[in-house]
Structure formats: C-alpha cells, structure tokens
Amino acid sequence: MESQQLNPATSGPQHSLGRKPFFKTTVGQLAFVGIVSLILLIARNDGPVPKLEHAQEKRTMSSPVVENVGRILEIGKELQDDIMPSPSLPSVPPQHFSATPLAKSTPTSIPSAPLVIRQESFSQDLVIPVDELVTDSTSPFQAIILAQKSGYHTVVVRRSMVEGYETILFEYNERIEGDFSAGNLWDALPPNIALAPNKNQIAYIDEDGLKLFSLVTVQHIPLITIIQPQPENSDGSPLWSVEALHGTYFLVRPRWSADSRYISFSQAHYEGASYGMYDTVSGTYDWIRGKDDEHIGHISLTWSPVGLSVLEPSSEGYRHPGLFVSTDNVWEVKNLAKKFGKRDAQFSAANFSPDGTKIAFTYRDVYEDKENILAFVDSSGRNFSIVDDKGWKETPFFAPDGSHIYYVVTKEGRATLVAYEIESKSSSEVLRFPTEYDVWEEPQWIGSYLVLQGNAHGVDTTLRDDVKRLIILDLENRIMVYASPAYDYYTTFAGFIN
C-alpha cells in the first residue's frame, strides 16, 4: 500500500501508513542481489566501484574491494534510507507513565519538491507570499507538528520548514465532526492536539478519550478513556475510566503545563463546560474549580510560561465573569479581578508575561459603558493599569523582556499590530497585516522571533477554503522568516520540533 501526496491546502486527506520493510520487498531483494553481484565483480577485476543512481540522487561508491559482509549491509542500509527515509526524532528519553501502551504507529514520509529559500523583508505593510516561504538549515525552526481534520478523521504530520515535505506521524478519528455549518462551538473546533514543551510527546483527544503519542518510542498511550459509549437515542453521557468525569460528554482542547507534566482540557456537559487536568506523572485527574465555587469552564485557559499557574478570562453565560488565576494550588483558581475592583467586568482575552509576573488582558466594563479596554496587572492583583480604552483590541501579549505589550487593533479596515511601552506609556504602530487576514491570534515568542496565526474569519465566512496561515517574524530586523502554506480552518499548528 503506497502513501499518497499530501496537499496542505485540502481538507483532511486520507493516507496510508502501510509500507513493507526494505528487505521484504521485491525491490529490496533485487537491490540486495545486485549489490552482491557488484561486489563479486569488483573482487574479480579489482577495479573501482561505479557510480549508482537511485531515487534521482547520485551516490558515489569510492571504496575498492569490499572485504566483509559488514560493508554489504552498510550499502544496503544506505539504499534502504533512500527508499524509506526515516523522520528525525528527538533522542531525549521518554517520560514514564502509568497507562498501558497501545500499538505503535509507523511514520510515513511524503516528499515534495524542494522550495526556494528566501526571506521577505517588510516595512509598515506586511505582505505574505502566496506560496510557502521556507527557512534555511541554520534557522532555529526546522519542522512543525500540525494536524488536519476532515469530518471526523484527523491526520497528524511533521512538516519540514526547510524542505517543504511532510511525514505522517499518525491518524485518528475524533468524536466530534468538523462542521462549521452546525452553528455551535464544539463542531467548529479544529483538531484537538498539543505538543509538549519538552518536544517528546503529543497530547491528543480521539473518539476514545485523552491519549499521548510518544515521539521517542512511537507509541500511543491512553490516559482517560470511554469504557461505555453514550446510550443511543439518549441524553445520557458515556462512562469514563475516571469516575469523576460522570456527566461529561466529550473532551476538547488539550494544553500542556510548562514542565510537560500536566495536561488541561475542556470537558463538555449537558449545559456548559468545565476544565479538567491530568497529572501524567502520578496518573491522577481532578477538575479545576473556582475558590468561591465560581464556574469558569470554557475554552480559553492558558498556562504560565513558568511555574504551574493557569489563567482563564471569563465573561458571562454559563460562567462567572472574572479573571481567574491559580497560584499555590494548580487545581484551584481565584478571581483576580476582585483585587483590582473589576469583579463584575467581562474578560475576553488574557496572557501572562514571559516571567509570569504580569498579565495583559482585555475586558468590558459594564458600569462605564466601554466595550473593549486593554489593561495589565501584576499576577498578584496589584498595580492595575489601563493601556487603551478606545477602539476594539485583540490578542494582547508581552514582549520577550516584558518591556512592551503588543496587541492587534483594526485601523482603516486592516488589522494592525501596536506596541505599548510600559515605562514611557507610549504606543507605536509596528506593522499592518494583509487585508485578507482579519484575525491574528495564538502569539508566542521563540527567542526573539514572533509566531502568529492569521485567519480569514470575516473574509471567508464559510471557513472551508484556505483561510489559515502561520508566520514567523523577526521584528527587530523586519524580516519574515517563515510563512506556512495556506490551510483550511480545520488545521491545528501544535508546535515546533527539530
């Protein structure tokens, strides 16, 4: 069974993971016999080994007479690598878990034509090339883990950011069909996967529950599973391997703690949602709760870049409004907004500073009749300060050194990145994004490089075409280092790996 070419601009292609080992295939056997015959000929003529051409690549064999079988195996291994190249995986030892491993998945390489390496400089107006902008081998970015979903089926791949080819890591089915036309939040979610900060494992949620995929051992490890399906024609929930999940219909949006130990996720109930957390070291589960029995569940929870604090901005509906943060107990959060006098405000976006000591956020003040205010505060709740209370602002995040707060505003119909210097209390426009992408989110810093995801939410309301891009910017030198191909909405960029 042969693998098929993966087109990143299409929604959730089907692919085969099957491939026979080299020496068990007809091609492998013929190649092996050819090598032995070639060696015997060399031994007889005592002449140089001719050049071989394989897989459109010239490989020179400069050795004279091969004197032992070991060299035969070395040449065979070289040809095997040409036929079935292996993915580059980290050599860090895997973390140990108490769950029972499932069967292994075999990564499958899907090569594509090498792309031109270039860097795009930009001034005030950012222009994203139509095709993928690849990086070079000296870049700190070598590959990205991403997943594409079509219906229920999800394919997880490792995409080379240097050569532009993808390697299938594994495939699975989710419980929720990707169908934006259904009109609810859960059907509109992209694939539920997340790469651990230690780069050793991927957390994902399939039709059976929460699992890990080890990039070291290439094994699937179940953590939380459904032991009895949801009854047919019933509003009842399935039964889970964790009794405390009674009344939970499904899990979504896994997120890792900075130390790669805890996995948080949203758990959907008959009405509303809540947060759960799994400890991969002890194998224990608990749900995240408000200190004063406040209900905070939704899908916006994030982890601090350091320590074990979680952050959840909450507005209304099934949730209590507030800015919820955990401190001493990772399982328990408290409403930080009460400390700076905004207990009734509705919070919509929030991010920690790189050192975890500050929080930038946007909120709506119901008493001042202001829709969208940008502010920041110490993670203790002290030193509250308003940055901007005019216009609509999104995606607040700190600079790597914490000196600035970046955020996105809309000016003259274009999403615009603005930087606010905390010390001088002054703002400046950094760049204007292309008009075809109106939403920019999921900011993160890799060293001094800024990573952002662009989405054409308002431009293409069907969300079925190529509407999502990932870009990497060197803001100091005003250079675009990488731009992904255009993907459809049901794509998750899980993280970077070498």
- Regarding whether 136 and 61 lie in a shared domain, the answer is no
Q: Calculate the CA 227 to chain-centre distance.
A: 28
Model pLDDT, residue 249: 93
360-393 burial: b if 16+ Cβ within 10 Å, else e: bbbbbbeeeeeebbbbbbbbebeeeeebbeeeeb
Instruction: Give tens-digit pLDDT for 208-265.
Output: 999 999 999 999 999 999 999 988 878 889 999 999 999 999 999 999 999 999 999 9
Helix, strand, or coil (residue 416): strand
Please enumerate, as own/partner, the contacts of 83-88 that have beta carbons within 8 Å and a separation of 24 or more.
83/22, 83/27, 83/28, 83/55, 84/19, 84/22, 84/109, 85/109, 85/111, 87/158, 87/167, 87/169, 88/143, 88/498
Model pLDDT, residue 371: 75
Q: What is the mean pLDDT of the chain?
A: 77
Model pLDDT, residue 123: 73
When divided into structural domains, the chain yields a total of: 2
- Regarding whether 389 and 469 lie in a shared domain, the answer is yes
Task: Name the pTM for this structure.
Answer: 0.75
- Regarding whether 157 and 40 lie in a shared domain, the answer is no
158 is written with which tokens?
């490792």
Residue 89 forms part of a structural domain: no
- Regarding whether 485 and 345 lie in a shared domain, the answer is yes
Model pLDDT, residue 218: 96
Model pLDDT, residue 2: 35
Residues contacting residue 159 through CB under 8 Å, at least 6 positions apart: 8, 143, 144, 145, 146, 165, 166, 167, 484
Residue 91 forms part of a structural domain: no
Gap between the Cα atoms of 435 and 9, Å rounded: 20
Domain containing 74: what range?
Answer: 22-83
Residues of the chain with pLDDT under 50: 1-106, 109, 111-117, 459-464
Q: Is the sign of the CA dihedral 347, 493, 242, 151 positive or negative?
A: positive
Residue 452 forms part of a structural domain: yes
Gap between the Cα atoms of 124 and 430, Å rounded: 7
- Regarding whether 301 and 264 lie in a shared domain, the answer is yes
- Regarding whether 129 and 52 lie in a shared domain, the answer is no
- Regarding whether 312 and 260 lie in a shared domain, the answer is yes
- Regarding whether 186 and 38 lie in a shared domain, the answer is no
424 is written with which tokens?
């001088």
C-alpha distances (whole Å) from 331 to each of 225, 257, 286, 337 are 21, 12, 7, 19
Residue 79 forms part of a structural domain: yes
- Regarding whether 145 and 76 lie in a shared domain, the answer is no
